[in-house]
């Protein structure tokens, strides 16, 4: 068994197995003016990458009979692995937003501040400090936020993000960055925007 060449696959990636010969045959027959078929029509099977070293190991979730019959994979054919979009992060983001935002609410986004060039800088500074005090008071008095399953690091990140112009939130997978971000957006909208 040969090692596959350098690649950009990672453990957990969803992949599709494509019969490269079928795809090439289709592309060669097609005129440049013809509408191209979506690549997904050439997918033979779907799987998840289990390991990448020393050999690429894939667990195929779906394996059609056409690939099993006649030793389809044992013939000298060229196959291609296509990395599919990873929906894990998207699904986590959606779940986090659904946890903290009531779907019946309609949040209308309006401009945050409509400031003219002539504004007094001290007035703006005072306004910003008032807003920070309001944020802190809202966090203390927000029953929903107080009962959220957030750890101290997440709460500090939320406070920093609401009080500072720029906040970097980083950490390994599974540490709650998505939920923290969802809370920041939720509280930011609740604090700075009015409905209607």
- HEC assignment per residue over 53-111: CCCCEEEEEECCHHHHHHHCCCCCCCEEEEECCCCHHHHHHHHHHHHHCCCCCCCCCCC
- Report d(CA 116, CA 109) in Å as an integer: 20
On whether residue 7 sits in a domain, the answer given is no
* pLDDT for 184 beyond 80: yes
Determine the pLDDT at residue 109: 32
On whether residue 131 sits in a domain, the answer given is yes
Determine the pLDDT at residue 196: 39
On whether residue 9 sits in a domain, the answer given is no
Lowest mean pLDDT among 65-69, 74-78, 98-102, 106-110: 106-110
On whether residue 33 sits in a domain, the answer given is yes
Determine the pLDDT at residue 111: 38
pLDDT band at 114 (very low <50, low <70, confident <90, very high): very low
Last residue of a domain, one of 28, 58, 86: 86
Q: What burial class does residue 96 get, using C-beta atoms within 10 Å of its C-beta: 0-12 exposed, 13-18 middle, 19+ buried? A: buried
What percentage of the chain has pLDDT greater than the value 90? 0
Determine the pLDDT at residue 117: 53
Q: What mean pLDDT is predicted for residues 17-24?
A: 82
Q: What mean pLDDT is predicted for residues 71-96?
A: 71
Q: Are strands 57-62 and 43-51 parallel, antiparallel or unpaired?
A: antiparallel
CA-to-CA dists, residue 160 to 164, 167, 171, 178, angstroms? 6, 7, 16, 16
Same domain, 74 and 95: no
Same domain, 34 and 58: yes
Same domain, 21 and 67: yes
Same domain, 82 and 98: no
On whether residue 95 sits in a domain, the answer given is yes
Same domain, 78 and 97: no
Last residue of a domain, one of 86, 108, 123: 86
Last residue of a domain, one of 58, 86, 114: 86
Same domain, 170 and 159: yes
Same domain, 82 and 93: no
Q: What mean pLDDT is predicted for residues 165-187?
A: 85
On whether residue 181 sits in a domain, the answer given is yes
Question: Count of domains in the chain?
Answer: 2
- Tens of pLDDT, residues 124-174: 667 767 776 776 676 666 667 777 788 888 888 888 887 777 788 888 878
Same domain, 183 and 95: yes
Determine the pLDDT at residue 150: 85
Q: What is the domain extent for residue 18?
A: 14-86
On whether residue 3 sits in a domain, the answer given is no
Same domain, 94 and 163: yes
Q: Is 171 left (phi over 0), alpha (psi -120 to 50) or beta?
A: left
* pLDDT for 112 beyond 60: no
Same domain, 62 and 97: no
On whether residue 126 sits in a domain, the answer given is yes
């Amino acid at each position: 068994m040969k090692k596959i060449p350098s690649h950009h696959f990672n453990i957990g990636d969803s992949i599709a197995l494509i019969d490269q010969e079928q795809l090439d045959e289709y592309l060669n027959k097609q005129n440049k003016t013809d509408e191209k078929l979506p690549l997904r029509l050439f997918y033979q099977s779907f799987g998840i990458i289990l390991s990448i070293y020393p050999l690429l190991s894939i667990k195929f979730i779906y394996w059609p009979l056409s690939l099993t019959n006649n030793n389809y994979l044992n013939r000298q054919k060229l196959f291609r692995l296509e990395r599919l979009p990873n929906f894990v992060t998207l699904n986590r983001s959606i779940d986090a937003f659904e946890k903290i935002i009531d779907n019946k609410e309609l949040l209308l986004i309006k401009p945050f501040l409509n400031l003219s060039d002539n504004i007094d800088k001290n007035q703006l500074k005072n306004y910003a400090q008032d807003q920070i005090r309001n944020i802190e008071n809202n966090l203390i008095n927000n029953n929903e936020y107080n009962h959220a399953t957030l750890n101290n690091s997440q709460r500090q990140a939320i406070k920093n993000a609401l009080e500072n112009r720029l906040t970097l939130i980083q950490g390994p997978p599974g540490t709650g960055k998505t939920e923290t971000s969802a809370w920041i957006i939720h509280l930011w909208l609740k604090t700075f925007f009015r409905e209607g």
